[in-house]
Amino acid sequence: MSQKGKPRGIWVAAALVAAGAVLVAGCRPAAESTSEEAPLRIAMSGLYPPFNFFDEQNRLVGFDVEISREIARRLGREPELVTTAWDGILAGLIAGKYDLIIGSMAITPERKETVAFSDPYYVSGAQLVVPSGSPIRGPEDLKGRVVGVTLGETYEEHVRRIPGVKRVATYKGGVPNLLMELENERIDALVSDRLVGLYAIQLTGSDVVMAGDFLYREEMGIAMRKGESALRDQVNAALREMRADGTYSRISEEWFGRDLIELEGEKDPGAVDQAVPEPGGEA
């Protein structure tokens, strides 16, 4: 795949541009209506390439963005996309600031205690990423090492349970910040979503590699407030239709070079085509 422009700039822009967008989003009033005519307010961090991020033209793009727009279209509502800090995104949902979170959120028992989820809309997993040439080949090699994770993600809890890890360093700013910390040798490894890692390596040219297989698999769902069963049923119906008519496959192939439906039955995702396409999507 030929690269155009400055790929690394996309990752830097994701961190810088989205920071301003978070401030703007945080000032908006809570949604006052959930009628079918009202806009469908959908939250994400805007810091998670290739799922949701700001490109070099300051457009919010990515797999989650296109899934969001398509679901809103099928529900007959205008999409209103909101970017907000990940560590407070659930609180914003519960407070009524938006209707859905479509931001690659893992379905966990802890989160299900406070919010409801759609059926999973993709399956991935936690992946260890290290500098090229690192002796770290898997979690068994993390004794005495510093491992970076994004604040508020489920990976932090898992990494803290790995025997011998010296310290778990948490960062805001998502994968772009983690990659910079890794390249600056402030951390020895990072843990993120595998698909995000594959995309980062190809798009930025970072001198990093995947270490081992999944640490564990995750199912990603669309979060909404508890009690909104009608909205949940509508979202699930839209997801089923998108899978059946090929829309879901088209979106995933655009962003990952492969249909993510095919990954759901795989134990090891190592066969994913690592030739990641150029960023797409509309503002």
Judge whether 98 and 210 are in contact, CB under 8 Å: no
Same domain, 43 and 88: yes
Specify the number of domains making up the chain.
Answer: 2
Is the pLDDT at 242 greater than 90, yes or no? yes
222 Cβ contact partners less than 8 Å away, ≥ 6 residues apart: 71, 100, 101, 102, 105, 117, 118, 121, 235
Task: Quote the pLDDT of residue 177.
Answer: 84
Structural domain boundaries, residue 27: 7-122+219-261
Task: Decide which of 162 and 213 is more confident.
Answer: 162
Judge whether 238 and 74 are in contact, CB under 8 Å: yes
Task: Quote the pLDDT of residue 28.
Answer: 43
Same domain, 45 and 65: yes
Q: Is the pTM of this model over 0.85?
A: no
Task: Decide which of 2 and 59 is more confident.
Answer: 59
Task: Decide which of 222 and 282 is more confident.
Answer: 222
Band of residue 152 on the pLDDT scale cut at 50, 70, 90: confident
Please report whether residue 142 resides in a domain: yes
Please report whether residue 35 resides in a domain: yes
Same domain, 95 and 84: yes
Last residue within a domain, chosen from 186, 217, 248? 217
Task: Quote the pLDDT of residue 70.
Answer: 98
Task: Quote the pLDDT of residue 264.
Answer: 67
Same domain, 60 and 98: yes
Amino acid at 163: P
Q: How far apart are CA 66 and CA 251, in angstroms?
A: 7
Q: Is 1 helix (H, G, I), strand (E, B) or coil?
A: coil
Task: Quote the pLDDT of residue 36.
Answer: 56
DSSP string, 115-162: EEE-S-SEEEEEEEEEETT-S--SGGG-BT-EEEEETTSTHHHHHHTS
Task: Quote the pLDDT of residue 49.
Answer: 84
Amino acid at 16: L
Chain-centroid distance, C-alpha 248: 16
Q: How far apart are CA 126 and CA 44, in angstroms?
A: 19
Same domain, 225 and 254: yes
Read off the pLDDT of residues 116-149 as tens digits, 9 standing for 90 and up: 999 999 998 899 999 999 999 999 999 999 999 9
Could you tell me the CATH number of the domain that includes residue 40? 3.40.190.10
